[in-house]
Amino acid sequence: MKRTLVCLMVLGAFLALVAAPVSAETLELITWEGYAPKVLIDKFMQETGIEVKPTYSTNEEMIAKLRATRGAGFDLAQPSQDRISAVQAKYKIYQPIDYSQVNSDQIIASMLEAVKKNTVVDNESYGIPHVYGTSGLIVNRKFAPDAKDYTDLLNPEYKGRVSYRLKRPTLIGLAFAMGKDPFALYSDPKAYKTLMEDIGQKMIEGKPLVKLYYDNNDAILQALQSEEVHVAMAWDIGGWKMHAVNPDIDFIAPKSGALGWIDTFAIPAKAKNVAGAYKWINFMMRPENAAVFTNAEKYGTASKGALKFVDEAVKANFTRSFTDADIDNIKWYPTVPAGLEGMEGKILDKVKAAQ
Amino acid sequence: MTMKRRFHITLPLICFLTPVLLWLVLLIVLPHVDLLRMSLRAEDDYGNAIWSFSNYMAFFQEPIYWLTFVRTAVYSIMVTVMTFIVAMPVAFYITKVVAPRFQGFLMMLLLMPFWVSELVRVYGWMILLRESGVINHFLTRMGILNQPIEMLYNDVTMVMGLVYTSMLFMAVPLVSVLESLDDSLIEAACDLGANMGTIFFRIVIPHAMPGIVSGSIVVFMLTLGNYLTPNMIGGKNALWFTEQIYNQFIASFNWNQGSAFGFLLLVLSSLVIWAGLKLTRQKLSRVVQ
pLDDT digits (tens, 9 = 90+) for A128-137: 999 999 999 9
Indicate which of B54, B233, B252 best probes the interface with A, i.e. most A CBs within 10 Å of its own CB.
B252
Which pTM was predicted? 0.81
CATH superfamily name and code, B54-287: MetI-like (1.10.3720.10)
Q: How confident is the model at residue A90 (pLDDT cuts 50, 70, 90)?
A: confident
Domains and their CATH numbers in chain A:
20-130+262-312 (3.40.190.10), 133-260+330-353 (3.40.190.10)
Task: Convert the pLDDT of each residue in A30-86 to its tens digit.
Answer: 999 889 999 999 999 999 999 999 999 888 889 989 998 999 999 999 999 999 998
Phi then psi dihedrals of residue B182, to 5 deg: -70, 125
* Residues whose CB falls within 8 Å of the CB of residue B36, separated by 6 or more in sequence, listed in order: B259, B263
**Residue B233: how many other CB atoms lie within 10 Å:** 25
A95 residue type, one letter: Q
**Residue A194: how many other CB atoms lie within 10 Å:** 12
Contact status, residue A292 vs residue A220, Cβ threshold 8 Å: no
**The pLDDT of residue B284:** 74
Task: Convert the pLDDT of each residue in A313-325 to its tens digit.
Answer: 888 888 888 888 8
What is the pairing mode between strands A94-95 and A50-56?
unpaired
Distance CA B164, CA B153 (A): 16
B239/A353 Cβ within 8 A: yes
Indicate which of A84, A209, A221, A346 best probes the interface with B, i.e. most B CBs within 10 Å of its own CB.
A346
Nearest chain A residue (CA) to B58: A346
Counting Cα atoms < 13 Å in the Cβ hemisphere of B172 gives 12
Please state, in angstroms and as integers, the Cα–Cα distance from residue A213 to each residue in A64, A168, A199, A220, B125, following that order.
22, 13, 16, 9, 18
Distance CA A264, CA A133 (A): 12
Which residues in A249-266 are b (16+ Cβ under 10 Å) and which e? bbbbbbbbbbbbbbbbbb
Please state, in angstroms and as integers, the Cα–Cα distance from residue B33 to each residue in A261, B107, B263, following that order.
39, 41, 11
Residue B255 C-alpha, separation from nearest chain A C-alpha, in angstroms = 9
Helices and strands in chain A, H and E counts: 14, 15
Contact status, residue A291 vs residue A304, Cβ threshold 8 Å: no
DSSP string, A66-102: HHHTTS-S-SEE--BGGGTHHHHHHH--EE---GGGS
Please state, in angstroms and as integers, the Cα–Cα distance from residue A123 to each residue in A78, A96, A120, B199, following that order.
21, 10, 6, 80
Task: Convert the pLDDT of each residue in A144-195 to its tens digit.
Answer: 999 999 999 999 999 989 999 998 899 999 999 999 999 999 989 899 999 9
Nearest chain B residue (CA) to A209: B236
Contact status, residue A228 vs residue B132, Cβ threshold 8 Å: yes
Please state, in angstroms and as integers, the Cα–Cα distance from residue B143 to each residue in A30, A188, A240, B152, B185, following that order.
50, 58, 36, 21, 51
| Selection from B203, B166, B179, B190 nearest residue B85 by Cα | B166
Beta bridge partner(s), residue A50: A25
Q: Does B130 touch chain A (CB under 8 A)?
A: yes
Beta bridge partner(s), residue A128: A265
Q: Write the residue in B153, B239, B250 that is nearest to A212 by C-beta.
A: B153
DSSP assigned state of B3: P
Instruction: Find chain B residues with C-beta within 8 A of A212's C-beta.
Output: 152-153, 235-236
Q: What residue segments make up the domains of chain B, in order of their start? A: 54-287
Distance CA A215, CA A58 (A): 11
Please state, in angstroms and as integers, the Cα–Cα distance from residue B259 to each residue in A99, B210, B263, following that order.
39, 33, 6
B132/A346 Cβ within 8 A: no
Averaged pLDDT, A227-233:
93
Q: Hey, which bits of chain A come out as E strands?
A: 25-31, 50-56, 76-77, 94-95, 120-121, 124-125, 128-140, 162-164, 210-213, 231-235, 249-252, 259-265, 267-268, 300-301, 331-332
Q: Does B146 touch chain A (CB under 8 A)?
A: no
A212/B68 Cβ within 8 A: no
Beta bridge partner(s), residue A76: A29
**The pLDDT of residue B131:** 85
DSSP assigned state of A107: B
Q: Write the residue in B236, B237, B239 that is nearest to A349 by C-beta.
A: B239
B239/A352 Cβ within 8 A: yes
Q: Hey, which bits of chain B come out as E strands?
A: 41-43, 49-51
Task: Convert the pLDDT of each residue in A234-282 to its tens digit.
Answer: 999 999 999 999 999 999 999 999 999 999 999 999 999 999 999 999 9
pLDDT along chain B (289 residues), means of 10: 62 85 89 90 74 88 88 94 94 89 89 87 89 88 85 88 92 92 89 88 90 92 91 81 89 87 91 88 72
CA quadruple A198, A203, A205, A206: dihedral, nearest 10: 150
Distance CA A168, CA A239 (A): 20
Q: Reduced to 3 states, what is the DSSP secondary structure of residue B239?
A: coil
Distance CA A4, CA A12 (A): 12
Contact status, residue B122 vs residue B161, Cβ threshold 8 Å: yes
Chains A & B: contacts with CB separation below 8 Å:
66
Q: Does B254 touch chain A (CB under 8 A)?
A: yes
**The pLDDT of residue B1:** 45
Phi then psi dihedrals of residue A71, to 5 deg: 90, 20
Nearest chain A residue (CA) to B245: A349
**The pLDDT of residue A339:** 77
B251/A341 Cβ within 8 A: yes
A355/B153 Cβ within 8 A: no
**The pLDDT of residue B178:** 92
Residue A159 C-alpha, separation from nearest chain B C-alpha, in angstroms = 13
Contact status, residue A51 vs residue A24, Cβ threshold 8 Å: yes
Averaged pLDDT, A280-301:
91
Distance CA A56, CA A289 (A): 20
Average pLDDT value for chain A = 89
B236/A210 Cβ within 8 A: yes
A346/B153 Cβ within 8 A: no
Handedness of CA A263, A269, A270, A275 (dihedral sign): positive
**The pLDDT of residue A202:** 94
Helix, strand, coil percent values for chain A (each to nearest 5): 55, 20, 30
Q: Residues of A near B (CB-CB distance < 8 A)?
A: 60-61, 63-64, 67, 87, 160, 167, 207, 210-213, 215, 226-228, 341-342, 344-346, 348-350, 352-353, 355
Averaged pLDDT, A195-221:
91
Instruction: Find chain B residues with C-beta within 8 A of A353's C-beta.
Output: 64, 67-68, 237, 239
Beta bridge partner(s), residue A131: A263, A301
A346/B131 Cβ within 8 A: no
Q: Chain B, 156-215: which have a CB under 8 Å from a chain A CB? A: none
A352/B253 Cβ within 8 A: no
B68/A213 Cβ within 8 A: no
B62/A64 Cβ within 8 A: no
Instruction: Find chain A residues with C-beta within 8 A of B239's C-beta.
Output: 349, 352-353
